[in-house]
Amino acid sequence: MYHKIIQIMKIIHSEKGLFQQFTTQKVIFLICAFLCLMPFISSPIALVLGFAVAQIFGNPYEIQSRKVSSTLLKVAVVGLGFGMNIFSAIQAGKEGIVFTVVSISTLMILGFLFTKLFKIEKATGYLISAGTAICGGSAIAAIAPITKAKPNQISVALAVVFTLNSIALLIFPPLGHLFNLSQHEFGLWCAIAIHDTSSVVGAASKYGEEALQVATTVKLARALWIIPLSFLTLLFFKNTTSKINIPWFIGLFLIAICVNTYVPFVHQFSPIIIDLSKAALTLTLFLIGTSLSFKMIKNIGYKPLLMAIILWVIIGVGSLIMIMNLA
């Protein structure tokens, strides 16, 4: 009887310890997430903080983080539209369209060649190319069902893109200052050379307001190329059954710009909406940081990673040279 009581006490104690540990993990995670809503936490810091928290304490909300970050990003982008003017947005879109067409076409062709050269699985190589060429994870999520990619192929493509995307957020602002880029030039460069919309907006907001407006507008115009690329993917993979996913939130972004331009009454609320949107973006990058890990990077494999790095360097250096000489 005595031994049974001791065993029960040990079980209760161990379960209590696990409960305390799990609760502590949640508390630390939530405190850090709350800090990312403060104006003194920048986008790069939020990303690094999320990565550090995940490595040291783990992420108790791993599944929820992915869903929330996707929704938060869309809400943040729509909110940023309330700080833009339709005429400036059209001008930025016109200037970026040449770079967009050239870069997307070039990257998809090179991606096809490198997939053959490195003997990477067709679907994996195609998803990495699409993610690099258009808008990172959003493009991969939209294109993957059409390619009928396996879960591990999608995971590799997402891991590659998010890893490089996170590095870009940290290094692009210093590089912009190093090359003495204007805010307009930097915004254009971000929109073309950084994979995912989250890091584009994060890096541009770090550089300045004009850079943020140019980068957001050009990147979302670029994201619309998911639609024609989806049709081409149907032909390339000979798929006649899959549906095409359209990024509808871009339409809401355009509506927000029009409202801010033509409805003066909204102007008194615009600064509040923009501040909330930037806070949402910073929190998004924290959540993205918590999804990264050394194990994920290790599981990518050197060939897909090498291909992605080469494509990224080509688009990064090539677009920078074009912008510095033509913009």
pLDDT in tens, 138-193: 888 888 888 888 878 888 888 888 889 889 999 999 999 999 999 999 999 999 99
Mean pLDDT across the chain: 84
| Contact in structure between 182 and 159 (CB atoms under 8 Å) | no
Q: Is 149 helix (H, G, I), strand (E, B) or coil?
A: coil
Is 22 contained in some domain? no
Least confident stretch, 16-25, 120-129, 310-319: 16-25
Query: What percent of the chain has a predicted confidence (pLDDT) above 70?
Result: 90
pLDDT given for residue 187 in this prediction:
93
Q: For tokens 């679907």, what's the residue?
A: 123
Q: How many domains does the chain have?
A: 1
> Which token pair is 225?
């190329």
Least confident stretch, 187-196, 222-231, 264-273, 300-309: 222-231
Is 257 contained in some domain? yes
Residue 45 pLDDT > 80: yes
**Could you tell me the maximum CA-CA distance found in the chain, to the nearest angstrom?**
86
Q: Is 309 helix (H, G, I), strand (E, B) or coil?
A: helix
Report d(CA 212, CA 40) in Å as an integer: 18
Count the neighbouring beta carbons within 10 Å of the beta carbon of residue 73. 24
pLDDT given for residue 101 in this prediction:
86
pLDDT given for residue 111 in this prediction:
94
> Which token pair is 12?
């209760």
Distances (CA, A) of 95 to 15, 189, 191, 252, 323: 61, 12, 12, 22, 10
Q: Nearest-5° angle of CA 249, CA 253, CA 259?
A: 135
Tell me if the pTM is above 0.85.
no
Q: Identify the residue with better confidence: 32 or 62.
A: 32
Residue 213 pLDDT > 70: yes
The residue-averaged pLDDT of 65-89 equals 83
> Which token pair is 315?
């688009």
Count the neighbouring beta carbons within 10 Å of the beta carbon of residue 268. 8
The residue-averaged pLDDT of 127-136 equals 89
Q: Is 295 helix (H, G, I), strand (E, B) or coil?
A: helix
Q: Which domain holds residue 267?
A: 36-326
Is 67 contained in some domain? yes
Supply the DSSP string of 216-265, one letter for each residue.
Answer: HHHHHHHHTTHHHHHHHHHHHTT-SSPPPPP-THHHHHHHHHHHHHH-GG
Is 2 contained in some domain? no
Least confident stretch, 16-25, 166-175, 194-203, 215-224: 16-25
pLDDT digits (tens, 9 = 90+) for 228-270: 888 888 888 876 666 767 677 778 888 988 998 898 888 888 8
Q: Which of 250, 182, 246, 245 is nearest to 216 (CA)?
A: 250
The residue-averaged pLDDT of 189-218 equals 90
Is 89 contained in some domain? yes
Is 17 contained in some domain? no
Q: Identify the residue with better confidence: 82 or 18.
A: 82
pLDDT given for residue 11 in this prediction:
38
pLDDT given for residue 141 in this prediction:
81
Is 82 contained in some domain? yes
Report d(CA 83, CA 294) in Å as an integer: 38
Report d(CA 271, CA 286) in Å as an integer: 23
Q: Where do the H-state alpha helices sit in 57-196?
A: 62-80, 86-117, 122-130, 137-147, 151-178, 183-193
pLDDT given for residue 22 in this prediction:
56
Provide the pLDDT confidence category of residue 10 given band limits of 50, 70 and 90: very low
Is 18 contained in some domain? no
